[in-house]
């Protein structure tokens, strides 16, 4: 996961445009497996911000989104959650969710 952990909930609530927050852990097998399908889906959506958040013990941001399993993808439009996917297994599912937040 990237070092995007300096982001807080207030920052995310104020985002403009389309964004995906990916909650997970670098050691998580499900997260590692999902990377190829997440990348494949995002290639088609260059305007969507992708924030990877290292989640786990002591990390409060995931709790503010009620994240229970990894990876969890939270799709935002102008800071508002539109849809979420937990442990996505197919790029088509991610693409369908992206279509709901990116209209370009």
How far apart are the two ends of the chain, measured CA to CA in Å? 27
Asked whether the beta carbons of 49 and 74 are under 8 A apart, the reply is no
Listed residue (60, 95, 98, 101) closest to 77, CA to CA? 101
Active site residues: 28, 31
């Amino acid at each position: 996961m990237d070092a995007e952990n300096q982001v807080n909930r207030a920052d995310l609530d104020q985002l403009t445009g389309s964004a995906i927050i990916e909650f997970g852990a670098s050691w998580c097998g499900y997260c590692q497996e999902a990377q190829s399908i997440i990348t494949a889906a995002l290639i088609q959506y260059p305007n969507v911000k992708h924030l990877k958040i290292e989640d786990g013990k002591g990390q409060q941001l995931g709790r503010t989104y009620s994240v229970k399993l990894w990876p969890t993808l939270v799709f935002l439009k102008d800071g508002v959650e539109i849809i979420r996917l937990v442990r996505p297994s197919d790029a088509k599912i991610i693409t369908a969710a992206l279509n709901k937040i990116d209209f370009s």
